[in-house]
């Protein structure tokens, strides 16, 4: 699949200009590489199909919780063909603890049906096709494309990426979609996939939503967030 032509970066918002200096961005990326050199996707999976389902289940739920339910789910329904034929109550019972289980069961069954009926049983490899799958919005599509197919068509902006990108003043807008656009403008495309994984790990281990552990953060000297709990 062709990688889309890179757009010319637009001029960043006035309030971010100083913080988006190439040297500063490079220093942040270096710091993330040092802290999280070998990051991988935290959702356990053995195939694009399993990652797609796990990502749908991860909405409003922790990856740890998703990883607790998917082994049994995939044992019972290992393929899109089998999941398409599952009963909704069976699916709901298996994924109940991930929350919103009525909707999620419908989504993963709908995803299975779509993949069987329109994509020959294989998870498609383009953003345009992936976002037609029930339950798979742009974020889910970006996760699958980046992790399984090495395609960087966007930056995955989950709750951790959204929060930390703003704390580090790499973005300032107020929706994940807008923050993704800001990050795509300032980050080299070959960093889009790793950057998301690194920020997700940073959010879990250090830059907590309620109480960031700034004294342990190797980006502390580059961060001027008002949420900081410690300053050198
Ligand atoms: S210094 Fe604190 S607020 Fe800033 S990125 Fe590090 S942990 Fe997060």
The DSSP string of 35-49 is H-TT---SS--SSHH
What confidence category does residue 9 fall into, taking pLDDT thresholds of 50, 70 and 90? Answer: very low
Atom of ligand 1 nearest to the CA of 229: 2
Q: Which residues of 19-39 are buried (b: 16+ CB within 10 A; e: fewer)?
A: bbeeeebeebbebbeebbeeb
Q: Which of 18, 25, 35 is nearest to 207 (CA)?
A: 35
Q: Which of 99, 93, 112 is nearest to 53 (CA)?
A: 112
Task: Tell me if 207 CB under 6 Å of ligand 1.
Answer: yes
Q: State the sign of the Cα–Cα–Cα–Cα dihedral 132, 136, 138, 144.
A: negative
How many angstroms does the Cα of residue 195 sit away from the middle of ligand 1? 16
Closest residue CA from atom 1 of ligand 1: 220
Asked if residue 98 has pLDDT above 60, the reply is yes
Mean pLDDT of 88-100: 98
Asked if residue 94 has pLDDT above 50, the reply is yes
Q: Which of 171, 203, 225, 227 to mutate to test the pocket of ligand 1 (most atoms within 8 A of CB)?
A: 225
Per-chain mean pLDDT for the chain: 92
**Could you tell me what percent of the chain has a pLDDT over 70?**
93
- Position 145 scores a pLDDT of 95
Q: What is the pLDDT of residues 120-142, one digit of tens each?
A: 999 999 999 999 999 999 989 99
Q: What is the pLDDT of residues 184-205, one digit of tens each?
A: 999 999 999 999 999 999 999 9
d(C-alpha 59, C-alpha 140), whole Å: 9
> Do 162 and 203 touch, CB atoms closer than 8 A?
no
If one compares 2 and 96, the residue with the highest pLDDT of the two is 96
- Going by C-beta distance under 8 Å and a sequence separation of 6 or more, which residues neighbour residue 148? 47, 48, 51, 123
Closest residue CA from atom 8 of ligand 1: 207
- Position 17 scores a pLDDT of 58
Asked if residue 3 has pLDDT above 50, the reply is no
d(C-alpha 184, C-alpha 196), whole Å: 11
What confidence category does residue 35 fall into, taking pLDDT thresholds of 50, 70 and 90? Answer: very high
Backbone Cα Rg of the chain: 19
Task: Tell me if 54 CB under 6 Å of ligand 1.
Answer: no
d(C-alpha 53, C-alpha 140), whole Å: 9
Mean pLDDT of 53-72: 95
Task: Tell me if 167 CB under 6 Å of ligand 1.
Answer: yes
What confidence category does residue 149 fall into, taking pLDDT thresholds of 50, 70 and 90? Answer: very high
- Position 151 scores a pLDDT of 92
Q: Which of 215, 223, 227 to mutate to test the pocket of ligand 1 (most atoms within 8 A of CB)?
A: 223
């Amino acid at each position: 699949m062709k990688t889309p032509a890179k757009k010319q970066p637009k001029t960043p918002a006035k309030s971010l200009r100083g913080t988006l200096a190439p040297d500063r961005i490079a220093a942040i990326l270096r710091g993330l590489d040092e802290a999280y050199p070998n990051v991988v996707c935290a959702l356990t999976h053995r195939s694009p199909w399993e990652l797609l389902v796990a990502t749908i289940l991860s909405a409003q739920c922790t990856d740890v919780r998703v990883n607790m339910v998917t082994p049994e789910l995939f044992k019972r329904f290992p393929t899109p063909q089998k999941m398409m034929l599952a009963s909704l109550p069976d699916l709901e019972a298996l994924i109940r603890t991930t929350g919103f289980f009525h909707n999620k069961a419908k989504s993963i069954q709908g995803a299975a049906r779509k993949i069987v009926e329109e994509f020959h049983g294989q998870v498609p490899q383009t953003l345009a096709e992936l976002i037609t799958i029930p339950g798979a919005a742009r974020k889910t599509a970006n996760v699958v494309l980046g992790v399984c197919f090495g395609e960087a068509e966007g930056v995955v902006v989950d709750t951790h990426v959204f929060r930390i990108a703003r704390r580090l003043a790499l973005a300032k807008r107020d929706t994940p979609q807008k923050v993704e656009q800001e990050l795509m403008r300032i980050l080299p495309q070959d960093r889009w996939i790793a950057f998301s994984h690194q920020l997700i790990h940073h959010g879990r281990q250090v830059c907590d939503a309620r109480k960031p552990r700034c004294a342990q953060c190797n980006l502390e000297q580059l961060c001027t967030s008002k949420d900081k709990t410690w300053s050198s």
